[in-house]
Amino acid sequence: MVLKNMKLAVFFIFCLFATIQASAQAESGATAKQVVEKFQSELIAVMKNGKQLGYAGRYEKLYEPVSNSHDLTKIARIVVGKEWEKLSEAQQQKLVEVFNRFSVSSYAHNFKDYSGESFVFDSEEETTRGGVVVHSTLVIPDNKPVKFDYMLKEKGDSWRIINIIANGVSDLALKRSEYTSILQREGFDALMAKINEKIDNYSKQ
Amino acid sequence: MNKPYSGNHNAKIQKIFLIVLIDIAISLSGCATNGVNGQQTSSAKDDPYENFNRKIFGFNDTVDNYVAKPVSDAYKWVTPQFMQTGVYNFFSNLKNINVVINDVLQAKFAQSAHDTGRLAVNTTMGLAGFVDVASHVGLEQNEEDFEQTLAVWGVPQGSYLVIPFLGPSTMRGLPGSAFDAAANPANYVGIPVQLVSLLNTRANAEGSLKFIDEASLDPYVFTREAFLQWRNNLATDGKMESSLDLDDELGEEAAKSPTKGSDTSALKKTTPELNVNTETTDIRPDHELRLSPPPSALKAVSK
C-alpha cells in the first residue's frame, strides 16, 4: 500500500514536472521566427476585423501582441541615442510609456483593414552579435510586395523585435534621427508634445 | 499651352531649366558652406547644409500645399481610376528605356534583357504602355537610374540636398537626374506632356506624403532619412539592408565609450549596455555586418 502510494506520488510529481517544463518551453523556447510569425498572425487577425473593431478596438487588441513581441523599452532607449543619459529618471520613464502608446497606436492606425494581405516567411539568419534577422514579405494582392525584415535580440529567455526594416528602410534608424534631432533642437517636452499629438491624430482617423 | 512646341525649342527649355537648377543647387551649397557649419546634429555627416535644406524643404512644402496638392487632388477627383493607372503605366513604360540603359551601364545584362522584354511587351501589346501586360506575365518593373549607376561605379553619395520644387536629392543625384531626364522621351514631346508627367508623379506620391505627414515628428528629418536609406537600398539592390540592424548602436560595445565630460551621474546607474555610442550615428551599412539576402528578398526589393 505504501509502495503504491509512493508510486502514485512519484508519478504525480513526474507529471507535475513534465507540465512545468512544457509550459516553460512554450514561454521561453519560442524562436525568433515563432515570435515574428505569432505577431504577424495576430496583426493579420486584427486587420481582418479592423473595420468592426475601430481604432480603439484595434488598439486594445494589439496592445498585448505588440508589447509581448517587441522590446519597446530597449527601442525607446535606442531611438533617443546618447540623449538618454541626459534625461532624468522620470523623463526616461515617461519616454518609455509614451513610446509604448505611440508604437501600438501607429499599428492600430496603419493596419486598419484587410484586403487579402499575408506575410510569407523567407529566411532567418544570425547576425554577428547574437541577434537574429527574420526576413519576410508582406504580399498585397494587386500591389508590389513589401519586404519586412525583423531584427530580434534575446531578452531574458525570449526573443524580442527591436527593429523592423521595410523595403530597406530601418524604422529604428529613422526614429532615432528624428528623436535625437528634436531633443537636440527643441528639448524633451517638445518631443513628448509631438508624440502625443501624433497619437491623438491617429486615434481620430 | 496647347500649341505643340517644336522638339528643338523644348530641348532648349529643358537644358536651361536643368542648368538653372544645377546653378541654384551649387550656389545654395556654396552659401551654406560658408554659414551653417556651426550647429551640427547627429546626421551632420550626410547633411552638412541642414539649415539651408530645411528652408528649401519648407518652401517646397508651401508650394505643394498651395499648388501641387490642389492640382493633384483635382486630377484624382476628375479622372477615373483606370485612366490614372493608364497614365501611370504610360510614363513608367517610357522610363524603362532609361532602366535598360542603366542595366547595361551597370553590367546587369540578364536584367537588361528582362527589362527590354518588358518595354517591348508593354509598348506593343500594352497599347503604347497604357496597360501593364508585362507584370502579368512575370516581367516585373525594375528600378534603375543613373544615380544608382554612379553609385555602382563608386561615385560617393555626397551631401544631402533639397532641390527647390523637386525635393530630396544628393550631390550624386544631381547628375543622375540630369541624365535620367535626358534619357526620358517624355521630356522631348512638349510641355503639356511634361506637366501631365509631373501631375502623375505627384498623384502617385499621395500615399507616401500622407504617411509622412501622419507618422513623422519632424517631417524634414523623416524625409531625409527615409530618402537616403531608400536610395541606398536601391543602389545596393537590397544587398545591405540587413546590416541596417544597427547592431552597433545596440550598444553592447558602445559601453566602451562612456559619455565624455557630460554632466550626469544619475545615469551611471542605468545599465551601460544600452548607452548608444555617439560615433555610430551613421546609419549607413556597416560592411562587416553585411548579410546576404535571400534571392526572394532581392526580387521583392527590386520590384
pLDDT tens-digit readout, B164-186 = 988 999 999 999 999 999 999 88
Instruction: Look over chain A and give the mean of its residue pLDDT values, rounded to a whole number.
Output: 85
User: What single string gives the DSSP state of each residue in A78-104?
Assistant: HHTGGGGGGS-HHHHHHHHHHHHHHHH
Contact list in A for residue B264 (CB cut-off 8 A) is 85-86
For B233, the closest of A88, A168, A181 (CB atoms) is: A168
What's the pLDDT at A1?
A: 54
Cβ separation B217–A182 shorter than 8 A: yes
User: Cβ contact (<8 Å) for A147 and B232?
Assistant: no
- What percent of chain B stands above pLDDT 90? 42
pLDDT for the residue numbered B213: 87
- Judge whether B37 and B48 are in contact, CB under 8 Å: yes
Q: Per-residue confidence at B98, pLDDT binned at 50, 70, 90?
A: very high
User: Exposed, middle or buried by CB within 10 Å (0-12, 13-18, 19+), for A32?
Assistant: buried
Q: A residues 167-186 near B, CB within 8 Å? A: 167-170, 172-174, 176-182, 184-185
Distance between CA atoms of residues B93 and B82, nearest Å: 16
Residue pair B214/A109 in contact (Cβ under 8 Å)? The answer is: yes
Note the pTM of the prediction, 2 decimals.
0.72
Cα A198 from Cα B99, distance rounded (Å): 39
Give the pLDDT of residue B96: 93
Chain A contact for B92, CB < 8 A? no
Among A107, A109, A146, A147, the residue to mutate for chain B (most B Cβ within 10 A): A147
pLDDT at res. B171: 94
Does the pLDDT of residue B86 top 80, yes or no? yes
Q: Which residue has the cell 500594352?
A: B126
**Tally of CB atoms within 10 A around B139:** 19
Chain B contact for A33 (CB, 8 A cutoff): no
First to last CA, chain A: 71
Reported ipTM: the value is 0.77
Q: Do A198 and B217 touch (CB under 8 A)?
A: yes
DSSP 8-state code for residue B68: I
Which residues, 6 or more positions from B91, have their beta carbon under 8 angstroms from its beta carbon? Answer: B129, B186, B197, B200, B201
Q: Do B224 and B160 touch, CB atoms closer than 8 A?
A: yes
CB of B285 within 8 A of CB of B257?
no
pLDDT band, residue B296 (cuts 50/70/90): very low
Nearest to A89 among B234, B238, B266 (CB): B266
Cell of A27: 514561454
Report the pLDDT value the prediction gives residue B287, as an integer from 0 to 100.
32
Whether the CB-CB separation of B42 and A181 falls below 8 Å is answered with yes
Question: How confident is the model at residue B214, as a pLDDT?
Answer: 87
Residues in chain B: 303
Chain B residue closest in CA terms to A175: B222
A57 touches chain B (CB under 8 A): no
Q: Determine contact: A44 vs chain B, CB below 8 A.
A: no
For residue A135, list chain B residues with Cβ-Cβ distance below 8 A: 242, 293-294, 297
Q: Provide the chain A residues 105-164 that lie in CB contact (below 8 A) with chain B.
A: 106, 109, 122-123, 125, 127-129, 131, 133, 135, 137, 144-147, 149, 151, 153, 162-163
pLDDT of the residue at A138: 92
DSSP-derived letter for residue A70 is B
Q: Own/partner pairs for B152-157, CB < 8 Å, 24+ apart?
A: B152/B105, B152/B106, B152/B235, B157/B46, B157/B228, B157/B231, B157/B232
What is the H or E stretch that residue A151 is in?
strand A146-155
Q: What is the pLDDT of residue B9?
A: 54
Q: Torsion angle, CA of B223/B225/B227/B231, rounded to 10 degrees?
A: 180
Question: In 10 A of CB A24, how many CB atoms?
Answer: 11
What average pLDDT score do residues B257-273 get?
35
Using a CB cutoff of 8 Å and minimum separation of 24, what contacts does A18-21 make? none
Of A165, A173, A198, the CB nearest to B225: A173
Q: What tens digit of pLDDT does each residue of B118-138 get?
A: 999 999 988 888 999 888 888
Scanning B24-63 for CB atoms below 8 A from A yields 41-43
**Euclidean distance between CA atoms B84 and B86, whole angstroms:** 5
Q: Helix axis angle, A50-69 relative to A32-48, nearest 10°? A: 160
Of residues A205 and B288, more confidence is placed in A205
| Closest CA relative to residue B162, chosen from B52, B270, B74 | B52
Q: What is the pLDDT of residue A109?
A: 92
**DSSP alpha helix (H) spans, chain B:** 7-35, 50-63, 69-78, 81-105, 109-124, 133-136, 146-152, 173-182, 186-189, 191-215, 219-235, 295-302
With bands split at pLDDT 50, 70 and 90, how would you rate the model's confidence at B144? very high
Beta carbons of B275 and A185 less than 8 Å apart: no
Q: How many Cβ atoms sit within 10 Å of the Cβ of residue B128?
A: 13
Kindly determine whether residue B247 and residue A131, on different chains, have CB atoms separated by under 8 Å.
Answer: yes
Among A4-13, B69-78, B87-96, whose mean pLDDT is lowest?
Answer: A4-13
pLDDT in tens, chain A (205 residues): 555 666 666 565 555 555 544 444 444 567 888 899 999 999 999 999 888 888 999 999 999 999 989 999 999 999 998 889 889 999 999 999 999 999 999 999 988 889 899 999 999 888 877 889 999 999 988 888 899 999 999 888 889 999 999 888 899 999 999 999 999 989 999 999 999 999 999 988 6
B228 pLDDT exceeds 50? Answer: yes
Cβ B297–A147 below 8 Å, yes or no?
Answer: yes
The alpha-carbon gap from A29 to the nearest alpha carbon of chain B, in Å, equals 23
B212 and chain A: CB distance < 8 Å anywhere?
A: no
Tell me whether B276 touches chain A (CB under 8 Å). Answer: yes
B294 touches chain A (CB under 8 A): yes
CA distances to A29, A37, A122, B243 from A136, rounded to whole Å, are 21, 9, 5, 16
Q: Does A81 touch chain B (CB under 8 A)?
A: yes
